[in-house]
Amino acid sequence: MSLSARPGPFEMEPSRTAVIVVDMQNDFASEGGAFARGGRDVSLIRSVIAPTSRVLAAARAAGMAVVYLRSEWRPDLSDLGAPDAKFWGVMRRAGIGEPVTGPEGQASRIFIRDTWNTEIVQELTPEPSDVVVAKRRFSGFHATELDAILRGLGIRSLVFTGCTTSVCVESTLRDAMHYDYRCLLLEDCTAERIGHGLARSNHEASLLVIERVFGWVSDSSALLAALAAAAPGGGAAAAPQDPASVVRAFDAACNSRDLEAVMAFFADDAVVTQRPPPPDGGVYRGKDHVRRWFAPQLAGFHVDSQDHRTSGETVAWTATLSADVLRRSGISHPVEARAEAVVRAGKIVSFAVTNPSSTAAAEAQAAGARS
């Protein structure tokens, strides 16, 4: 299989290729993590979640391996290294080991294993078949089992996603090249905040040195197109089919504020229901009507998925919805809502959001009126 890349086409065999997801964990990509607590804007890193989610879904469907790298250390920091080493100082400035409170009130610690801080972001939650490798330096190959795992799987080519481009991603990719892996970096699935906004950013500098020396550079669209062309049936899109995977990819598209990516998940005759209903009735039938419902409010749309429960074609979960989504129902603050989707053949045919508190209030008001 060949896909368009720089400096020339990248040849890969899906069964011998792994997608590497570098450090897409709460400490780097979520509010409350190390980066955000240190005053760093995590929106740039979060912007790669949606394209990465699409790549992972297509890669799994094509039989490619998926390997997550996660920066994490022991609670006593005995694996951090020598106190007078540069790396120790870098991690200390990042707050490693500091106690924090997670988003649900749970005790956590910055960069410490088995805590909320080092979990992979919700939108990219690993599947049971995926591999997760803990790393304790910038490179995923340094003193880890990564090379042994990849060789055991028969992997020869690696597709890189994650953060940050110029530090952990590039460090891992350089070592992979030294181990004779063929490396492809997807430029829209990686992010780097250092130098962002300058005439030439560190992200762009990494892309240049990678395509000149260490590997190839492409983007998610090129990879998805190549996988689709190679799929049985010649051009059928390699997309998730099982309901839970579809919903996770849908959530990522919502959070990316990408209307076209969101609409791609809906069937042509899809129905969206909003409860309690706004003045227009709250039922939106057909893709065009659904698009009109999403379009004016997507900029404020946020779905923080939790507790997915799947029964056949139906997936139910708890979601945090922003105020903009529910303002037409008279709700002026973010709420936790119940969400439910029915998925058939990889498409959402029915999607409903319910705000329990406002529904209860409406029912109480109606009961009072009847009495």
Residue 6, pLDDT score: 96
Q: What is the mean pLDDT of the chain?
A: 87
Amino acid in the structure at residue 80: L
> Which residues are within 8 A (CB) of 309 and not within 5 positions of it... i.e. 6 or more apart?
315, 316, 317
Q: Which of 295, 292, 320, 296 is nearest to 306 (CA)?
A: 320
Residue 306, pLDDT score: 57
Percent of the chain with pLDDT over 90: 66
Domain range 243-367, CATH class: alpha beta
Q: Is 347 a catalytic residue?
A: no
Of the candidates 135, 183, 189, 304, the residue annotated as catalytic is: 135
Residue 356, pLDDT score: 63
Give the pLDDT band of residue 260 (cuts 50, 70, 90).
confident
Q: Is 287 a catalytic residue?
A: no
Q: Is 135 a catalytic residue?
A: yes
> Which residues are within 8 A (CB) of 7 and not within 5 positions of it... i.e. 6 or more apart?
211, 212, 216
Residue 55, pLDDT score: 96
Helices of type H across the chain: 26-29, 34-37, 43-46, 49-61, 86-93, 146-152, 170-178, 202-209, 220-230, 243-255, 259-263, 287-294, 323-326, 356-370
105: region left, alpha or beta (phi > 0 left; psi from -120 to 50 alpha) = left
Asked whether the predicted pLDDT for residue 193 surpasses 60, the reply is: yes
175-189, 222-236, 267-281, 305-319, range with greatest mean pLDDT: 175-189
Amino acid in the structure at residue 248: R
> pLDDT tens-digit profile of 14-46?
999 999 999 999 999 999 999 999 999 999 999
Of the candidates 168, 183, 189, 254, the residue annotated as catalytic is: 168
Q: What is the mean pLDDT of residues 148-162?
A: 97
Asked whether the predicted pLDDT for residue 141 surpasses 80, the reply is: yes
List, by residue range, all CATH 3.40.50.850 domains of the chain. Answer: 2-230
Comparing 5-9, 141-145, 365-369, which segment has the lowest mean pLDDT?
365-369
> pLDDT tens-digit profile of 206-218?
999 999 999 999 9
With tokens 């905040």, the residue in question is: 193
Q: Taking the model in full, what pTM does it have?
A: 0.71
Structure tokens at 28: 């780097």
Q: What is the mean pLDDT of residues 138-149?
A: 98
Amino acid in the structure at residue 285: R
CA distance 291 to 168: 38
Q: Does domain 2-230 have CATH number 3.40.50.620?
A: no
